């Protein structure tokens, strides 16, 4: 008798567990507020890094921040759509080098750390950016 009463409850609990989505990278980044904080920190790093800040001196920060937010949100599974230029077009004529790219990654990592992003989430996000490497160099 007790088993007949508990069986439906157990089915509900197991069903709820099965339908709960796994932790997304977007959630690990702190959702919208976390990604916006991350973007603010990264843009701050890019502007204060004497190694590459000249590349960002004429940047429209509001536009850049929003596109970077969209890109990170989309890549990390946050349900956003990136509306900016593709990476090759966005970096056309800049003649970025491997060194420039590495400095950007340094600043991205520093910004993520300042925003409180865990090392695991940092590595997951960096892995999603890695395929864009060839689209931004020497264009």
Per-residue model confidence as pLDDT tens digits over 30-61: 999 999 999 999 999 999 999 999 999 999 99
Query: pLDDT > 90: what percent of the chain?
Result: 67
Domain at 66, CATH number:
1.10.490.10
Residue 46 forms part of a structural domain: yes
pLDDT at residue number 34: 97
pTM of the model: 0.80
pLDDT band for position 133 (cuts 50, 70, 90): confident
Residue 121 forms part of a structural domain: yes
Nearest alpha-carbon partner for 46 in 138, 139, 124, 110? 110
Lowest mean pLDDT across 59-63, 120-124, 128-132: 128-132
Residue 17 forms part of a structural domain: no
- Beta strands (DSSP E) in the chain are none
Residue 117 forms part of a structural domain: yes
- The domain in which residue 107 lies consists of 31-136
Task: Say if residue 18's pLDDT is above 60.
Answer: no
- Report the chain's mean pLDDT, rounded to a whole number: 85
Residue 95 forms part of a structural domain: yes
The SS3 assignment for 11 reads helix
CA distance 54 to 32: 29
Domain count, the chain: 1
Residue 98 forms part of a structural domain: yes
Which of the pair, 103 or 91, is modelled with greater confidence? 103
Residue 125 forms part of a structural domain: yes
CA distance 130 to 115: 21
Residue 88 forms part of a structural domain: yes
CA distance 95 to 76: 28
The SS3 assignment for 105 reads helix
Q: What is the mean pLDDT of residues 68-86?
A: 95
């Amino acid at each position: 008798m007790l088993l007949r009463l508990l069986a439906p409850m157990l089915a509900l609990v197991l069903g709820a567990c099965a339908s709960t989505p796994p932790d997304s990278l977007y959630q690990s980044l702190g959702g919208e507020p976390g990604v916006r904080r991350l973007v603010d920190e990264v843009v701050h790093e890019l502007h204060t890094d004497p190694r590459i800040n000249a590349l960002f001196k004429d940047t429209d920060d509001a536009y850049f921040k929003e596109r970077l937010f969209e890109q990170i949100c989309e890549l990390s599974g946050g349900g956003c759509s990136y509306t900016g230029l593709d990476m090759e077009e966005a970096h056309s004529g800049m003649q970025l080098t491997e060194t420039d790219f590495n400095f950007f990654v340094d600043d991205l990592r520093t910004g993520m750390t300042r925003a409180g992003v865990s090392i695991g989430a940092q590595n997951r996000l960096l892995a999603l950016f890695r395929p864009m490497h060839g689209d931004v160099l020497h264009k």
